Amino acid sequence: MNSLPLLDLSRLGGSPRDREAFLADLRSAAREAGFFYLSGHGLGAQVCQTLFAEARRFFALPEAEKLAVEMIRSPHFRGYSRPGAELTRGKPDWREQFDIGAEREAVWRSGDPAWLRLQGPNQWPDSLPELRAALLGWRGALTEVSIRLLRAFAEALGQDREAFAPIYAGAPNQHVKIIRYPGGDGASGDQGVGAHKDSELLTLLLQDDQDGLEVEVEEGRWIKAPPRAGTFVVNIGELLELASNGYLRATMHRVVAPPPGRERFSIAFFLGARLDARTPLLDLPLELAAQAHGPASDPANPLLRHAGENYLKGRLRSHPDVAARYYASGHADKLQGQIAGEGSGSV
């Protein structure tokens, strides 16, 4: 494989033959690469251009205004992160970003599980009210596209189309991240984002015209995933790998920082399960089950079936400053102990 496959979501609503062909292509792409381009999603170019314009306006704000909504102010890991603030495998990522999630009431109280503290309101810059409307609208639209894909995945795996609904219905984990990669400065290296897997069910990425995304299609072999107009880059998250017993593949990927004098913008949407959900193990048809040999075992990143714990694991590692301020109690220590104790047995 030298390039990612391209799938057209509109085929899902076509003739029975088109629908079956799409499901077969979806299953193949998710198993062989864990990544694919998606067209036919119904979101026009104007909507995407407007969102990029709002992202550029945010990152052009004075530093003081961005720091007024810095993530360190949020126990829910929402808000702005300056370049180098987020870590991947212990190394700083050279990007600045703004994270939001579902607008829900903070319900965590002392003594509750640490993962429950992930739920809460977003932070918003006072000087850009348009940003809130744009990102919340985008979150809603991408949730609909992602659920269409999840239903298709369920069918492609021989399940009822609503097989995943019990773990996301009512309160799915909806995470939007607008990202700016400054041009490399030599001192920061080329790590826009280090190699990692995503912890949710699905990721949909909108790219501008600057490349940088790379996917590990085989161990040690990386290919580029350059921007393609009118498409999202879709990848499988750890929860789908768990649910399919490794038949579907959550794939390592990274972003190389743009060269000096260039910048790169992208907008990532992650759909995950409810925080209180446990990922089921699907009863696959025999021919698929014979090819499912269990999820990948990585001692540095054990996969946890409890969705809230799996998300919090990544947040604590990626944002140690937020972790130190809000999760320095025994809650985080308990989670880390579970991670260390479960290891590959956590799946």
pLDDT digits (tens, 9 = 90+) for 240-294: 999 999 999 999 999 999 998 899 999 999 999 999 999 999 999 999 999 998 9
In a domain, 1, yes or no: no
- Is the pLDDT confidence value at 347 over 50? no
Average pLDDT over residues 185-212: 89
Confidence category of residue 344, pLDDT binned at 50, 70, 90: very low
Contacts of the segment 22-26: beta carbons below 8 A, 24+ positions apart:
22/152, 23/152, 23/155, 23/156, 24/156, 26/149, 26/152, 26/153, 26/156
- Is 304 within the bounds of a domain? yes
Tell which wins on pLDDT, 336 or 250: 250
* Nearest of 28, 203, 217, 181 to residue 92 by alpha carbon: 181
Give the model's pLDDT for residue 189.
Answer: 73
pLDDT tens-digit readout, 58-92? 999 999 999 999 999 999 999 999 999 999 988 99
Considering the domain boundaries, does residue 128 fall inside one? Answer: yes
- Structure confidence by residue, pLDDT tens digits, 118-153: 999 999 999 999 999 999 999 999 999 999 999 999
Q: Would you state the pLDDT for residue 247?
A: 96
Most confident of 220-229, 288-297, 330-339: 220-229
pLDDT given at position 256: 95
**Over residues 93-117, mean pLDDT:** 96
- Tell me, yes or no, whether 197 lies in a domain: yes
Confidence of residue 306 (pLDDT cuts 50, 70, 90): very high
Could you tell me the residue range of the domain that residue 202 belongs to?
6-346
Q: In what order do the strands lie in the sheet with 191-196?
A: 191-196, 253-256, 213-218, 221-224
- Is 22 part of a structural domain of the chain? yes
Report DSSP state, residue 39. E
Percent of the chain predicted with pLDDT > 70? 93
Of the pLDDT bands very low, low, confident and very high (cuts 50, 70, 90), residue 329 is: low
24: how many CB neighbours lie within 10 A of its CB?
A: 11
What SS3 class is residue 7?
strand
Does any domain span residue 58?
Answer: yes
Secondary structure of residue 232 in the 3-state scheme: strand
pLDDT score of 346: 27
Average pLDDT over residues 11-30: 96
Report strand pairing: 35-39 vs 6-8: parallel
CATH number for the domain spanning 171: value is: 2.60.120.330
Residue 14 has pLDDT above 50, yes or no: yes
What's the pTM value of the predicted model, to 2 decimals?
0.93
172 lies in a domain?
yes
Q: Considering its fold, how many domains does the chain have in total?
A: 1
pLDDT at residue 176 greater than cutoff 60: yes
In a domain, residue 55? The reply is: yes
82 within 8 A of 61, measured Cβ to Cβ: no
Q: What per-residue confidence (pLDDT) applies to 188?
A: 62
Question: What is the reported pLDDT for 185?
Answer: 66
